[in-house]
Amino acid sequence: MRSCGMTAFDTLPLKPALLASVQTLGYDAMTPIQAQSLPPMLEGRDVIAQAQTGSGKTAAFGLSLLQSLNVDTIRLQALVLCPTRELADQVSKAIRKLAANIPNVKLLTLCGGMPLGPQLASLTHDPHIVVGTPGRVQEHLKRGSLHGGGIKVLVLDEADRMLDMGFSEAIDDIVGRIAKHHQTLLFSATYPDAIRDVSRRVQRNPIEITVESPAQTKPAIEQQFIEVEPAHKLDALAQLLTGERGQHALVFCNMRRDVDAVADELDRRGFSALALHGDMEQRDRDEVLVQFANRSCAVLVATDVAARGLDITALPLVISYDVAHDPDTHTHRIGRTGRAGQAGLAITLCTPRERPKAQNIEEVLARPLPWHPLKLSAPRGKMLNLAPMKTLIIDAGRQDKLRPGDILGALTGDAGLKADDVGKIDVFATRAYVAVSRSLANRALERLRAGKIKGRNLRIRTLG
Ligand code: AMP
């Protein structure tokens, strides 16, 4: 049996507009999770699927909900619940791309941590699709600013994380407030009992999908466990981060206060390192994520919850500064590396006291942990491990009709940079970020300040 023909998207009963999007996006073949979940989802069945970030799950449920959407009916028809705002933004973007060839699809992202007023203003007409976090969606349904009576598809994305974050009651309440007959698609990286309970409560006779061989979806991840004394943890970390792989690495700490301490210490030692945890203001979180994604920050130190929804693929290196408290969390961490066909390295530092936690992981892996010795080299004083880019922040954004092209134009025109020296450009509602080659950042800043963007003098500064 030829498998390639089996996994072409055009074997599915999808609208031509959706097949066209899939083609534009360059998806030649379905990923395993798509090949297994799309046929039953398109038949209207409830599905519970074990799928990690990177498996193509978003396109799977995105295509399915768009297939059943009727644009002429001005009602909310599909609701996607996500654990974090970052993930909701990412899912919204992916669905918009898939919907690019269907005119007039209205999609709204509704997340907590953002003011309610503008959300209420944009809800004068029900959108077709809402992507959001459970608390905020629940609030809108309660207030009556959102109407669930026409919902045909409910998606629970990263359901395990939503439960971890305490959204279980909100989800149940939401289910009680939307149309009784709807399809429920549940995606979760892990299947603890709590997920099975949710499935039993909210799904009808679901088809269960697990992708047989994770090797098919995931390229090789090399794991290493390194035993270190607590006093040498930071030295070990700094040594592991030195060199090519440390140019874009994610470091996990179990505790928030360690996140700050480790990021500060790395910064002191000459790394472009930033901290990310749940206590931070939304704007600070945004800025950290922007800088990590655009390569102005080489090392991101984060808690597990904060790192969820991070829209970064193919990190070459992930380090657990502490052994994760449970094997599921460990699996999530190492899943951050080795995406998109690139091999990744996942290193876990383990102090003698953390051995029992490592043994739990060993039991779940059902094979001996790959222990590696690390010879600590003598401290070499401060070394420079700076990220290749630096971020400029511009105090204008979408509301000012500022577009990425305007910024690129100003930098390559008046400021005299080559297009190669300009990196990722992120335009938010009221501000914009652009990465430029670190060595040219000051020059770019001076020139931009001297010139104009879109005929205006805008406030510009460097970040970090
Ligand atoms: P996800 O697991 O939804 O986060 O998707 C991971 C990445 O895979 C995204 O960047 C998608 O654009 C990409 N992707 C999804 N489906 C396919 C496909 N069939 N072929 C190639 N790439 C895909």
| pLDDT reading at 319 higher than 60 | yes
**Nearest alpha carbon, ligand 1 atom 22:** 27
Q: Is 53 in the pocket of ligand 1 (CB under 6 A)?
A: yes
The reported pLDDT for the residue numbered 382 is: 64
Residues 6+ apart with CB under 8 A from 275: 259, 260, 262, 263, 264, 288, 301, 302
CATH no., domain 218-365 = 3.40.50.300
Examine domains 5-215 and 389-463 and report if their fold is the same.
no
**201 alpha carbon to ligand 1 midpoint, in Å?**
29
177-205: average pLDDT: 93
**424 alpha carbon to ligand 1 midpoint, in Å?**
20
The reported pLDDT for the residue numbered 385 is: 81
Residues 6+ apart with CB under 8 A from 171: 81, 134, 156, 162, 198, 202
| pLDDT reading at 427 higher than 60 | yes
- pLDDT band at 331, cuts 50/70/90? confident
| pLDDT reading at 214 higher than 70 | no
Tell me phi and psi for residue 192, to 5 degrees. -70, 170
**Nearest alpha carbon, ligand 1 atom 20:** 27
We find that the CATH architecture of domain 5-215 is: 3-Layer(aba) Sandwich (3.40)
Pick from 10, 22, 31, 65 the residue to mutate for probing ligand 1's pocket: most ligand atoms within 8 Å of its CB. 31
Between 1 and 266, where is the model more confident? 266
Among 215-219, 389-393, 399-403, 415-419, the minimum mean pLDDT is found in 215-219
Q: Which atom of ligand 1 is nearest to the CA of 90?
A: 4
Closest CA to 120 of 146, 138, 142, 86: 146
Closest CA to 306 of 262, 241, 256: 256
**30 alpha carbon to ligand 1 midpoint, in Å?**
9
Q: For residues 168 and 197, what is the distance between their CA atoms, to the nearest angstrom? A: 10
250-254: average pLDDT: 96
Q: For residues 102 and 105, what is the distance between their CA atoms, to the nearest angstrom? A: 7
Q: How far is CA 331 from CA 16, 223, 304, in A?
A: 38, 11, 11
Q: For residues 283 and 48, what is the distance between their CA atoms, to the nearest angstrom? A: 34
Q: Which atom of ligand 1 is nearest to the CA of 58?
A: 3
The reported pLDDT for the residue numbered 245 is: 78
Express each pLDDT in 114-133 by its tens digit.
Answer: 888 889 888 888 999 999 99
Please tell me the pTM assigned to this model: 0.55
| pLDDT reading at 165 higher than 80 | no
| pLDDT reading at 316 higher than 90 | no
The reported pLDDT for the residue numbered 9 is: 94
> For the chain, how far is it from start to end, CA to CA, in angstroms?
55
Tell me phi and psi for residue 437, to 5 degrees. -55, 130
Contact 306, 277 (CB under 8 A): yes
Of 278-287, 374-383, 432-441, which one has max mean pLDDT? 432-441
200-204: average pLDDT: 95
| pLDDT reading at 17 higher than 70 | yes
Bridging pattern class, strands 183-188 and 129-132: unpaired
**340 alpha carbon to ligand 1 midpoint, in Å?**
9
**410 alpha carbon to ligand 1 midpoint, in Å?**
33
| pLDDT reading at 29 higher than 80 | yes
Give the other-Cβ count within 10 Å of 335's Cβ: 20
293-318: average pLDDT: 85
**315 alpha carbon to ligand 1 midpoint, in Å?**
16
306-320: average pLDDT: 79
Between 290 and 342, where is the model more confident? 290
| pLDDT reading at 314 higher than 70 | no
**317 alpha carbon to ligand 1 midpoint, in Å?**
21
Q: Is 34 in the pocket of ligand 1 (CB under 6 A)?
A: yes
Q: Is 93 in the pocket of ligand 1 (CB under 6 A)?
A: no
**23 alpha carbon to ligand 1 midpoint, in Å?**
13
**Nearest alpha carbon, ligand 1 atom 5:** 56
| pLDDT reading at 157 higher than 90 | yes
Contacts by 105-112, CB closer than 8 A, 24 or more apart: 105/66, 105/69, 105/71, 105/129, 107/131, 108/132, 110/136, 110/137, 110/140, 110/146, 111/85, 111/136, 112/85, 112/136
310-334: average pLDDT: 87
Q: Is 27 in the pocket of ligand 1 (CB under 6 A)?
A: yes
CATH no., domain 389-463 = 3.30.70.330
Percent of the chain at pLDDT > 70 equals 93
- pLDDT band at 342, cuts 50/70/90? low
Tell me phi and psi for residue 284, to 5 degrees. -65, -40
**Nearest alpha carbon, ligand 1 atom 21:** 27
Contact 318, 250 (CB under 8 A): yes
Domain edges within the chain:
5-215, 218-365, 389-463
271-290: average pLDDT: 92
**Nearest alpha carbon, ligand 1 atom 15:** 56
181-197: average pLDDT: 92
| pLDDT reading at 216 higher than 90 | no
Express each pLDDT in 47-97 by its tens digit.
Answer: 999 988 888 999 999 999 999 999 999 999 999 999 988 899 999 999 999
